[in-house]
Chain A
Amino acid sequence: MKPLEKYNPAVIFLYFLLLASLAMFAANPVMIAISVLTMNAAAVAYSREGLARSYVFYAIIFVLTSLANPVFSHNGVTVLLVVNDNPITLEAVLYGVMTGFMILSVLLLFRVFSTLMTSDRLLYIFGRAFPKLGLLLAMTLRFVPLFGRQRRKIENTQRTLGLYKDENAIDTIKGKLSVLSAMTTWGLENGIVTADSMSARGYGIKRSRTSFSMFRFERSDLGLLLIVIASCTFIFFGIATDKLKTDFYPRMQLPPFSPYATVCYILYTGLAIFPLVAKVAETLRWKWISGKAYDDKIKR
């Protein structure tokens, strides 16, 4: 098994898209539990920094969604308490909690997705379908750090010339505005130079042009694609024919455990745990290789 980053970006994109839609469409407690557990683990395995801060944000979203449902929905038979003549029911609370977990798992999934889908991968996917937009995106991504550096240069220059003060709020704003003004002029002029340079190198010539990319479509990509599509079709068929349906109103029912549903749960677990397994396998292999290298060194 190769690490997730090594697969073709289009396959990875489709995989995450289908996984997210399964979590959202199913509305089945078992599947949501599976996806919360696996996505939490995957988020921890894949995140580089700032996970703790994101979890604060996720917790707020979770609490808000869980509370929103019992406040606005008064279906259900088990009344817990009555607020302003509006019954707060156990079923509505449970449903709210489930929705909260669903959204939490989707948010975590998007987090893993955005660490894997770097901008070059997104460009690979969309740049072919929309070449001009792809170019716009690529140029913007390149210009953001360039402009940031230029902003610091202009600010330092103006400071040295004594034009920039930040002693009080008004001075700071004035200073920032004058930096912005210089930035705009520089950016536009610089952009014209870039555009002319592009034209000189043949951009816009009416012949099909190719672009370089690091990604290929290999046999393992085809394998993953087929597995993902087959299992998602199976589960989607189950959802569409109500085989995975779990009613919350008027009274909460247990999620179905028919043979079909059980197969769906197993398939879904397999799908959702894949990023984590790939990451663990990669780490173990790395440990093994570096351990072997260490042994070799000792022997010598």
Chain B
Amino acid sequence: MLVIRNRSLRRLLRVLIPFVAVPAAVLVGAYVFKDKVYAYISLIITILAIVLFISGFEKRETGSRRMVIVVVMTVLSVIGRFVPVIKPVATITVISGVYLGGEAGFLVGAMTAVISNFFWGQGPWTPFQMFSWGLIGLFSGLLAGRLKTSKILLYAYGALAGFLFSMIMDVWTVLWMEEGFSWEPYFAAITTALPMTLLYAVSNILFLISLFDPIGKKLERIKRVYGI
């Protein structure tokens, strides 16, 4: 089994993946398998992107308190996925991203997908869910300053997150069901999923209204009291 304790090996991995492994996967897919299996290639690239992110995370020193806070937020969002119909997963990911930083947001989103799929069913869609929710958390961390000051921007981001999630997952749907990507089935998939997408967007806004300030205040307090 591959053991990446070695610091230089991890650094090598961070260079190898974006500049060698991803192009290699695309080229092998294009020439050897003649673009027959887009779904599989994009699956591999998604996994590689997540590995790339994680290798950066492994390299850095993280305090144990900070790490456990990330775990607690992940657990809250995993449990949130058991709420019927409307799911606060994206909201808790956004809150983590805003208050704990983009990296924490990515981890909460991605780990929620892995862990909750132990209950909801793992499948080839897991890496895509990891990627979509992770990105929602990462971007919310990057926009943290603006999202904290402007409520309108925050709710707009929540709605956008709902659409973003649906659109990324629909790319996967089309890749999986069709031979390769084309716009016609993609638009069909988006149209069929429109009620769900709207539900995501609306529930994100509702949850942000009811949860953002209370949980944010608690996180701020914990950060101040325990000096994280």
CA distance A199 to B115 in the complex (A): 25
Across the two chains, which residue of chain A brings its CB closest to B31? A240
Q: Report the count of interface residues on B (CB-CB < 8 A).
A: 55
Q: Kindly identify which residue among B58, B121, B124, B185 contacts A72, using a CB–CB cutoff of 8 Å.
A: B185
On whether the beta carbons of A203 and B64 are closer than 8 Å, the reply is: yes
Given A72-B184, A110-B123, A129-B4, verify A191-B71 contact (CB < 8 Å).
yes
Contacts of B114 in A (CB 8 A): 137
Interface bracket on A: 35 or more
| Distance from B9 Cβ to chain A, minimum over Cβ atoms (Å) | 11
On whether the beta carbons of B75 and A147 are closer than 8 Å, the reply is: yes
A177-206 to B contact mask, C-beta < 8 Å, 1/0:
100110111011111101110110001100
CA distance A184 to B92 in the complex (A): 11
On whether the beta carbons of B58 and A130 are closer than 8 Å, the reply is: yes
Say if the beta carbon of B195 comes within 8 Å of chain A: no
Say if the beta carbon of B49 comes within 8 Å of chain A: no
Say if the beta carbon of A162 comes within 8 Å of chain B: no
Instruction: Give the residue among B54, B65, B75, B226 with the most A Cβ atoms within 10 A.
Output: B75
Say if the beta carbon of A10 comes within 8 Å of chain B: yes
Q: Kindly identify which residue among A110, A143, A181, A239 contacts B124, using a CB–CB cutoff of 8 Å.
A: A110
Across the two chains, which residue of chain B brings its CB closest to A151? B79
CA distance A126 to B211 in the complex (A): 33
CB proximity to A under 8 Å, residues B194-228: 210-211, 214-215, 218-219, 222, 226
Q: How many A-B residue pairs have CB under 8 A?
A: 143
Given A144-B79, A240-B32, verify A195-B123 contact (CB < 8 Å).
no
Say if the beta carbon of A290 comes within 8 Å of chain B: no
B16-34 to A contact mask, C-beta < 8 Å, 1/0:
0000000000000000110
Say if the beta carbon of B111 comes within 8 Å of chain A: yes
| Distance from A56 Cβ to chain B, minimum over Cβ atoms (Å) | 13
On whether the beta carbons of B176 and A103 are closer than 8 Å, the reply is: yes
A5-46 to B contact mask, C-beta < 8 Å, 1/0:
000001000000000110011010000000000000000000
Contacts of A24 in B (CB 8 A): 37, 39-40
Interface positions of B (Cβ within 8 A of A): 1-5, 32-33, 36-37, 39-40, 54-55, 57-58, 62-65, 67-72, 74-76, 78-79, 107, 111, 114-115, 118, 121-124, 176-179, 182, 184-185, 188, 210-211, 214-215, 218-219, 222, 226
